[in-house]
């Protein structure tokens, strides 16, 4: 299926569908005249005598070297090949395709000076399934994501490597098998392809979408945990949250109230409960998860702007008839957004881990058996599952340290302040995986705790969530090999199945 995109006005929801479903994308043909006008301005500049950075000069520290018109094709080709210096694991195909879509959108704004044929080749690669092999390390997020984007561009020249129909092939062979022809780069085209923040932005967007799914999962598991330890719902009263006014907090409290409405467990201890207050991990759930929700939303706003932005250099200002060197390639906004996402992920995991610890501790769990096993002593129950969540929580705390404050000079000090946005965005996948594992363990513990409250039942939405969990994770009656259960529960969080079973729906754009 193909998505037609109008550059400058693409919403995150459309990009998420492209990423999750592997859809192809093309640009609305109405942008073609603007693209061609910019390419014509670049062609005329390349034929002129005036030095124009990136058109008829060297790059970076070599910008003072003037390049003759007859060598501009070689200049652009050399630029791509020399910048293919990525190392590490290959980016997964879905992320690479999203990066290509973002590059397509940026070029389609008509300020980069590429030929329409170049855009058509990216569209053809997306349509036919030619996916460049892009190493995931090597970018510092300034002058663009140079190395990753160079590996993408190399395939367009018939160089590098790509996957096609499950095979890893040379770039030229992959294009040929797909019935596509490599291109010869014109003036500035190589620079337009590798300057830009599309690698960092793609990974930050994926981190955002995964974090949003985890945040929803966190509300479901928190509700289950609250019933498991027979916690109070008084802290969820709407007036508390409206008096403070934060939209995410109001939304989180409302969602949790709705999920717990009608719980027999909750109704059973409204009167006569000797506990005055629950620990913060129960009492302050809406405040923490709500703050994370607000942070994710703000990051989403930044990333939607960046996804639609022109971030190469120099920029072709057709209306003004000139080509201007600037710094839109500097990925500071993306780095900041990714750092914010990382903090939200870490805090959601931190409070969820404390709920797990609460449920397995007989001193705090309000009469649940130690480590949630029917025969403690003979069985260790969920003792080490809780330890695993502590390990993952701690790892995420370390990974949440900001990346954007860790600039280092590069390129002979020409590029003397960099964003580290690629680092900031790249670690989000690992952090989200850790968080979904923590939430999976929480779901297992909470379901186990609720089972111990029988014959009292939890609410209908939470019963549905438990039933979905029990399809892949049976109740723990005696010790067994637990790793597959933890993986299965985490997968229910990652694919949204647990949230879907509960009926919870949270829109990232909802006010």
- In this prediction, residue 410 carries a pLDDT of 84
Give the Cα separation of 299 and 343 in Å (integer): 11
Contacts of 423 (CB under 8 A, 6+ apart): 140, 141, 403, 406
Task: Reduce the DSSP state of residue 273 to 3 states and report it.
Answer: coil
Task: Tell me whether the omega of the peptide bond preceding residue 24 falls within 30 degrees of 0, making it cis.
Answer: no
Q: Which of 19, 53, 209, 329 is catalytic?
A: 53
Instruction: Identify which of 261, 267, 275, 229 has the alpha carbon closest to the alpha carbon of residue 449.
Output: 229
Per-residue pLDDT of the chain (511 residues; tens, 9 = 90+): 899 999 999 999 999 999 999 999 999 999 999 999 999 999 998 888 887 777 877 666 666 777 777 788 888 999 999 999 999 999 999 999 999 999 999 999 999 999 999 999 999 999 999 999 999 999 998 888 999 999 999 999 999 999 999 999 999 999 999 999 999 999 999 999 999 999 999 999 999 999 999 999 999 999 999 999 999 999 999 999 999 999 999 999 999 999 999 999 999 988 878 787 899 999 999 999 999 999 999 999 999 999 999 999 999 999 999 999 999 999 999 999 999 999 999 999 999 999 999 999 999 999 999 999 999 999 999 999 999 999 999 999 999 999 999 988 888 777 778 899 999 999 999 999 999 999 999 999 999 999 999 999 999 999 999 999 999 999 999 999 999 999 999 999 999 999 999 999 998 874 3
The 167-170 sheet, strands edge to edge: 131-132, 161-164, 167-170
Task: Reduce the DSSP state of residue 174 to 3 states and report it.
Answer: helix
Give the Cα separation of 506 and 293 in Å (integer): 10
Helix, strand, coil content of the chain in percent (nearest 5): 60, 5, 35
Give the Cα separation of 219 and 348 in Å (integer): 10
- In this prediction, residue 61 carries a pLDDT of 65
Count other C-beta atoms under 10 Å from residue 448's C-beta: 25
Buried b (16+ CB within 10 A) or exposed e, 111-150: bbbbbbebbebbbbbbebbbbbbbbbebbbbbbbbbbbbb
280 assigned to active site: no
- In this prediction, residue 511 carries a pLDDT of 36
> What is the pTM for the complete model shown?
0.96
Instruction: Identify which of 99, 106, 105 has the alpha carbon closest to the alpha carbon of residue 132.
Output: 99
- In this prediction, residue 102 carries a pLDDT of 98
CB of 228 closer than 8 Å to CB of 153: no
Cα–Cα distances (Å) from 200 to 7, 12, 148, in that order, read 18, 15, 9
- In this prediction, residue 60 carries a pLDDT of 67
Instruction: Identify which of 506, 465, 502, 426 has the alpha carbon closest to the alpha carbon of residue 213.
Output: 506
- In this prediction, residue 344 carries a pLDDT of 98
Give the Cα separation of 238 and 286 in Å (integer): 11
- In this prediction, residue 89 carries a pLDDT of 96
Instruction: Identify which of 310, 81, 100 has the alpha carbon closest to the alpha carbon of residue 199.
Output: 100
């Amino acid at each position: 299926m193909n998505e037609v995109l109008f550059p400058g006005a693409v919403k995150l929801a459309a990009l998420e569908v492209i990423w999750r479903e592997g859809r192809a994308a093309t640009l609305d043909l109405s942008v073609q005249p603007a693209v061609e006008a910019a390419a014509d301005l670049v062609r005329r500049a390349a034929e002129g005598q005036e030095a124009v950075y990136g058109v008829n000069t060297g790059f970076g520290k070599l910008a003072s070297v003037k390049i003759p018109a007859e060598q501009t094709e070689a200049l652009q080709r050399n630029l791509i090949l020399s910048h293919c210096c990525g190392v590490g694991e290959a980016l997964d195909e879905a992320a690479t395709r999203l990066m290509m879509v973002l590059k397509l959108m940026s070029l389609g704004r008509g300020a980069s000076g590429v030929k329409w044929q170049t855009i058509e080749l990216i569209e053809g690669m997306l349509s036919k399934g030619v996916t460049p092999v892009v190493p995931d390390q090597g970018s510092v997020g300034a002058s663009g994501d140079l190395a990753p984007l160079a590996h993408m561009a190399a395939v367009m020249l018939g160089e590098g490597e790509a996957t096609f129909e499950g095979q890893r092939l040379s770039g030229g062979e992959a294009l040929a098998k797909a019935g596509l022809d490599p291109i010869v780069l014109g003036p500035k085209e190589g620079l337009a392809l590798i300057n830009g923040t599309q690698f960092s932005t793609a990974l930050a967007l994926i981190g955002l979408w995964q974090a949003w799914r985890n945040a929803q999962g966190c509300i479901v598991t928190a509700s289950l945990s609250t019933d498991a330890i027979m916690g109070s719902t008084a802290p969820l009263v709407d007036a508390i949250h409206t008096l403070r006014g934060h939209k995410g907090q109001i939304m989180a409290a409302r969602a949790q109230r709705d999920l717990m409405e009608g719980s027999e467990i909750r109704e059973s201890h409204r009167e006569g409960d000797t506990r005055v207050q629950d620990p913060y991990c129960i009492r302050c759930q809406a405040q923490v998860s709500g703050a994370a929700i607000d942070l994710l939303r703000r990051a989403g706003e930044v990333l939607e702007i960046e996804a639609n932005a022109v971030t190469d250099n120099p920029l072709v200002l057709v209306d003004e008839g000139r080509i201007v060197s600037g710094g839109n390639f500097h990925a500071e906004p993306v780095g900041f957004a990714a750092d914010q996402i990382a903090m939200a992920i870490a805090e959601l995991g931190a409070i969820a881990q404390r709920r797990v610890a609460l449920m397995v501790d007989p001193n705090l769990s309000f009469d649940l058996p130690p480590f949630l096993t029917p025969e403690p002593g003979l069985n260790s129950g969920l003792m080490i599952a809780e330890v695993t969540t502590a390990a993952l929580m701690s790892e995420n705390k370390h990974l949440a340290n900001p990346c954007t404050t860790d600039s280092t000079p590069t390129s002979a000090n020409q590029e003397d302040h960099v964003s580290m946005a690629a680092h900031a965005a790249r670690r989000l996948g690992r952090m989200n995986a850790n968080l979904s594992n923590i939430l999976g363990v929480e779901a297992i513990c909470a379901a186990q705790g609720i089972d111990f409250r029988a014959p009292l039942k939890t609410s209908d939405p939470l019963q549905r969530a438990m039933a979905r969990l029990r399809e892949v994770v049976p109740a723990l009656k005696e010790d067994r090999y637990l790793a597959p259960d933890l993986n299965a529960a985490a997968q229910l969080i990652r694919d949204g199945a647990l949230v879907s079973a509960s009926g919870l729906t949270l829109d990232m754009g909802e006010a």
